[in-house]
Chain A
Amino acid sequence: MFNLPNPQIGGPELFVLEFGDIVAYFSPYTAVLFAFALLFTVLVIVSRPERQVDIAFGGDAYYTKEVEPDLLRFQRFMAIACGLATLGAMVTGDVFNFTLFASMIGITNIGIVAAYRNRHVLNAAFQYGIVAMLATVPLFGGAAIVLSSTGTLSMWELFTAAVAVPLIAKAFLVLGVMGEGMAPFYIAKAEITRAQGAPFILMVHVSSLLLFLRVMEIVISM
């Protein structure tokens, strides 16, 4: 019933999942990204955080920091939510759903680090929050331009040669994803990684990279 219009980019379609008129699909490309997101979501669920070793300056002493149970529960909850949003973004066949998942990833990424009581980490989370908020304008604006210029948001239609998506819409989508997911790379990530809870902090990175990989496939295919 469904055939991906351009299998030369992410490979042929393997499996589709219909939700009414929204049809998620698994190609070799999206399936690999989905599997990777799933693997790290499972790792988040089963892992306990590391105990960071800090050196006490001015002496030979060092101490290990423990993650408080409340913080652990909150970080894990946010990381799982981030994993679920990433899973959705990897296989959705609808541009608007993709933008929704992308913004949810941005929110949960901030949540993972914002609960950690450290001035540097909180500053970084605050900066990330501002960029993520600003990025919703090009992100949803890109989807809106796609809809207004082509009449559809379905990737099954947009990927065909008959539908021409304006370059500005593609640029806005990439810009929006960079703001939502990739923001920490450029403004705050080094500071964010000061926070404890390796499996949860790693989810920030996993979701960013996977989101970037997916938007590349979408933009090249359109």
Chain B
Amino acid sequence: MIEYLLFATFIGLLFHGIHRKVIARVQGRPGPPIWQEILHTLKFSFKETWIPKTASQTLFVGIVFVAIAIWSGALFILLSGGSILLLFAVYLLHKIVEHGMGLSTGSPYTKFGAIRSVISAASELPLLVTVVAIYFFTRSLSIADITAYQEVNGPLLIIAFPAAVAMYLVILSKMHYGPFSIIEAKEIVSGNMTEHFGVWRAGLEVAYALKTYVLLYAFVLIFIGSLPLWLALLAMLIVLVSLSFVCAVTPMLSPYDTVTIQSLVTGALIIYIVILGVVMG
């Protein structure tokens, strides 16, 4: 498990680098090398580190460990074929991490990030509706059962396409430099991450790398099915590059617009589920 955690962290950081590179190329810039995020994390790991004088010290430090712990747990859930309801729980708990990170420092910029994180709670709703839609087809929330269902009936990407679109939006909501990345917008410096630097930032980079890996892998497992590792990585890369394209050509939305779009998608999916309920009994 430890070696897989290290592997997932490495791939996640590499994906972040590729994400930045693709965005830069689409926008006509050379962009950083794809291993830039790995170098960043290593650099932060050896930088001088302290805790701001105004921070709630225990929470400031504790939240970094919580972030790493929940996404390591999420990776374990995926690998062990656990429940996607648990995966959904981890995704929601990440919201607490974002919020706690912003509140704990005392800085007005991080606080703005934390409040934006609360406002964008609508980003979780499409995932919940996705979970319910999948349950309609598979009658189970276990990832092992879902992949087994796809081996018999074909990928859910085709069978439950609207649910796949909703989950795609969920992943997009958590991508750096995306239209929904309001909590780390530059007008509030780095948002809720502003005051976490040095080793704390390195820890957060590791947690976010795991998050990217887990979300992309979950998308592949849930909507395409169980694949050999190299093929799964290729599928994840394709999904990532498509997300990078969206991020590159879409400006950052205002906080209330993000909520509106996510709520509209949720509403559309609820209609889809009602229709499913009527058709499938």
Interface residues of A (CB under 8 A from B): 8-11, 28-29, 32-33, 36, 39-40, 43, 46-55, 64, 185, 189-190, 193, 198-199, 201-202, 205-206, 209, 212-213, 216-217, 220
Which chain A residues lie closer than 8 Å to B237 at the CB level? none
Pairwise interchain contact A205-B95, C-beta atoms closer than 8 A: yes
Pairwise interchain contact B106-A64, C-beta atoms closer than 8 A: yes
B219 to chain A, nearest CB (A): 20
Report the contact-size class of chain B (Cβ under 8 Å from the partner): 35 or more
Q: Does B100 contact A (CB under 8 A)?
A: yes
Bound complex: CA A29 to CA B83 (Å): 8
Q: Does B137 contact A (CB under 8 A)?
A: no
Bound complex: CA A53 to CA B195 (Å): 13
Q: Which of B59, B88, B115, B128 contacts A199 (CB 8 A)?
A: B59
Taking CB as reference atom, which chain B residue is nearest A184?
A: B118
B123 to chain A, nearest CB (A): 12
Please provide the chain B residues from 17 to 73 with a CB less than 8 Å away from any CB of chain A in the complex: 53-60, 62, 66, 73
Bound complex: CA A106 to CA B60 (Å): 26
Taking CB as reference atom, which chain A residue is nearest B55?
A: A50
Pairwise interchain contact A198-B59, C-beta atoms closer than 8 A: yes
Which chain A residues lie closer than 8 Å to B111 at the CB level? 52, 193
Additional 18 contacts, C-beta under 8 A, given A50-B104, A202-B96: A8-B140, A11-B142, A28-B83, A36-B93, A43-B59, A48-B56, A48-B57, A50-B54, A51-B106, A53-B106, A64-B106, A185-B118, A202-B59, A205-B95, A209-B93, A216-B88, A216-B128, A220-B135
Pairwise interchain contact A8-B141, C-beta atoms closer than 8 A: yes
Bound complex: CA A10 to CA B86 (Å): 7
Bound complex: CA A153 to CA B59 (Å): 38
B249 to chain A, nearest CB (A): 30
B142 to chain A, nearest CB (A): 5
Taking CB as reference atom, which chain A residue is nearest B122?
A: A185
Q: Which of B82, B86, B106 contacts A52 (CB 8 A)?
A: B106
Which chain B residues lie closer than 8 Å to A10 at the CB level? 83, 85-86, 141
Pairwise interchain contact B86-A29, C-beta atoms closer than 8 A: yes
Which chain A residues lie closer than 8 Å to B100 at the CB level? 198, 202, 205
Please provide the chain B residues from 95 to 113 with a CB less than 8 Å away from any CB of chain A in the complex: 95-96, 99-100, 103-108, 111
Q: List 11 A-B contacts (CB under 8 A).
A: A32-B86, A50-B56, A50-B106, A51-B53, A51-B106, A52-B54, A185-B118, A198-B103, A199-B104, A209-B92, A213-B88
Pairwise interchain contact B85-A9, C-beta atoms closer than 8 A: yes
